[in-house]
A and B are shown apart, each in its own frame.
Chain A
């Protein structure tokens, strides 16, 4: 009976994930997957002799925290929220592994001890890695890469230490406070921090996707400890989907995973950018002067970036888009896959602001027609519109697919200041002959444009 219920739960997860992949069915897919979770939990609890006090206590506290956090979080804070949830899944797998050692200890065979160990270290590094990602995403700690001499040596040392502790643990797995396991927990927690601090804010979409994969694999390993198929199946599904997303994000930046994880991208670029210095004169424009250009435009493309999220400008942007449409202009929103701080970040914000799904386009859809676009409005995006990625072989961004806003007839860049983007690379777009800089907070700049339209 329980086995049957687990099969039903697995089917619900699989169908749910499948439906999550298409816009029309995504919400139902998420509900099916949640139903699968409910079935799995009920099936588990149908066994005899559970200590209900602790279970209900755990459900109440954990469910309460999760529900409140999910309800309170703002859409702009979504990347760090996902990171926190991910981290809590990681620590849960670590705790499952540890508790299995405490209860089973010396009586477990190698077939249980190896996955137990893996659940602990993958869970541990997922936990602290996610916390560091949370810190960087929420601005509690600097988002610049943290690099120091001998960093790789320290990391290799940590990995060797974890491998050594693993061998020791499989050899001597008993004891309430098993020293090998405790050492491994400590090492994995430190390693999670070390693995994420050298990664800059702009590379966070890759990190979030990868940590998501890890949390699935940790759950999967926990499934091997207790020989539970529903954990193995769903953990593997999450692991695979996380790895695919990671690959998509890397391809969108034309970089390998190892380059993202180890290169400390951005710190070197900042030095290079500073050396190159300003490459010309940027031409500022005021909202009043931008208005006639927009008023005359028949095709406008918005290119949002992280700056739009920071300024919470999505609603104002939607309003400006609607006014342009009312003026007989065709409006599109070109979203780069790695714009923002997590996969699909801009899509979530624009959806919150009620931008029609059909208006959202990908770079490959919009680039071929860019020469026909009257105005491209860049809102707080930088590296994803840097033309050096197309033409300058010495740029650290070279080869990254970008949105070719510099080829539009006019490009208006909304930006707080003329500083380089998060990758720390100078952007020649700002000095192009057809580029106008509308400096200031993105939300007030867009609002000023909206007011121009309304007053006209």
Chain B
């Protein structure tokens, strides 16, 4: 559906390399926030959940239930992940000022 497979694979490979470059030199002090922050980003699957729920007209009740559950679980991941990361970094930041 939509984009050309060759192009999406190309984007995928470039993104992997970009991710490696972005993360390679992170100090160990920041490993936890980095992990929980990137974990929140993996909640991007919420976009997939919304689009799937959008198409469920043809899929009946089962698809609607699955789509809604997907939105719920992805929203837990997104909201919880960002908030918890922010809470942690809030504690880290106080040190910077001192």
A→B interface (CB under 8 Å)? 13-14, 16-18, 20-24, 26-27, 29-31, 33-34, 36-37, 40-41, 44-45, 47, 49-51, 54-55, 57-59, 61-63, 65-67, 69-71, 73, 75, 78, 81-82, 85-86, 88-89, 91-93, 95-96, 98-100, 102-104, 111-112, 176, 208-209, 212, 215-216, 218-220, 222-242, 244-245, 248, 335, 337, 342-345, 347-348, 351-352, 354-358, 360, 362
Chain B nearest CB from A304 CB (Å) reads: 13
Would you call B66 and A95 a contact (CB within 8 A)? yes
Taking A91-B73, A227-B8 as contacts, is the C-beta distance between A85 and B39 under 8 angstroms? yes
Contact partners of A81 in chain B: CB under 8 A: 80, 84
CA gap between A337 and B30 in the complex, in Å: 11
Chain B positions within 8 Å of A222 at CB level: 45, 48
**Which residues of B line the A interface, CB within 8 A?**
1-3, 5, 8, 11-12, 15-20, 22-56, 58-60, 62-64, 66-96, 98
Give the Cβ gap from A116 to chain B, nearest Cβ, in Å.
11
In the bound assembly, the distance between CA atoms of A44 and B78 in angstroms comes to 16
Closest to B7 in A: A229
B72 proximity list for chain A (CB < 8 A) = 58, 61-62, 65
Q: With A21-B26, A111-B5 known to touch, is A14 a contact of B82 (CB < 8 Å)?
A: no
- B47's contact among A49, A95, A176, A230, by CB below 8 Å, is which? A230
A65 to B77, CA, bound (A): 10
CB-defined contacts of B36 to chain A, threshold 8 Å: 78, 82, 85
Within the complex, what minimum Cβ distance (angstroms) separates A250 from chain B? 13
CB-CB under 8 A from A31, the residues of chain B are: 86
Given contacts A33-B37, A216-B38, whether A41 and B47 have CB atoms under 8 Å apart is: yes
Query: A23 near B27 (CB under 8 angstroms)?
Result: yes
Are the CB atoms of A55 and B71 closer together than 8 Å? yes
Expressed in whole angstroms, the minimum distance between the Cβ of A259 and any Cβ of chain B is 21
Q: Which of A33, A54, A73 contacts B84 (CB 8 A)?
A: A73
Please tell me which one of the listed residues A54, A98, A242 contacts residue B71 in the complex, with CB atoms under 8 A apart: A54
**Please, which residues of chain A bring their CB within 8 A of the CB of B87?**
70-71
How many A-B pairs have beta carbons closer than 8 Å: the answer is 391
Instruction: Determine whether the beta carbon of B76 is less than 8 Å from that of A219.
Output: no
Q: Is the CB of A352 within 8 A of B76?
A: no
Partner of A51, one of B24, B41, B56: B56
Q: What are the residues of chain A within 8 A of B33 when measuring CB–CB?
A: 20, 26, 30, 344, 348
Nearest CB in chain B: distance from A48 CB, A: 9
What are the nearest 7 A-B pairs in CB distance?
A62-B75, A240-B19, A58-B71, A66-B80, A344-B31, A227-B2, A66-B79
A102 neighbours in B (Cβ, 8 Å): 56, 59-60, 62-63, 66
Give the CA-CA distance A108 to B10 in the complex, in Å: 21
Q: In the complex the two chains form, is A245's CB within 8 Å of B68's CB?
A: no
Tell me which residues across on chain B come within 8 A of A342, comparing CB atoms: 31-32, 35
Q: Determine if B47 and A40 form an interchain contact, defined as CB atoms under 8 angstroms apart.
A: yes
Residue from B37, B73, B92 in contact with A88 in the complex, judged by beta carbons closer than 8 Å? B73
Contacts A93-B45, A95-B49, A235-B44 given; does A351 touch B19 at CB 8 Å = no
Known: A17-B41, A63-B79, A357-B96. A92 touches B46 (CB 8 A): yes
Asked if residues B39 and A82 are in contact (CB atoms below 8 Å), the reply is yes
Q: How far is the CB of B52 from chain A (nearest CB, A)?
A: 4
Q: Are B23 and A344 within 8 A (Cβ)?
A: no
Expressed in whole angstroms, the minimum distance between the Cβ of B19 and any Cβ of chain A is 3
| With A30-B82, A85-B81, A230-B44: A236-B19 Cβ-Cβ less than 8 Å | yes
Beta-carbon contact of B68 and A54 below 8 Å: yes
Contact sample, A vs B, 8 pairs, CB 8 Å cutoff: A30-B86, A37-B78, A61-B75, A66-B77, A92-B77, A238-B39, A240-B17, A248-B31
Chain B residues whose CB sits within 8 angstroms of the CB of A111 once the complex forms: 5
Residues on A with beta carbons closer than 8 Å to the beta carbon of B50: 41, 44-45, 50, 55
Query: With the chains together, A355 CA to B53 CA distance in Å?
Result: 47
| Most chain A CB neighbours (cut-off 10 Å) among B40, B50, B54, B73 | B73
Report yes or no: A66 in contact with B81, Cβ–Cβ below 8 A: yes
Most buried by B among A27, A81, A239, A356: A27
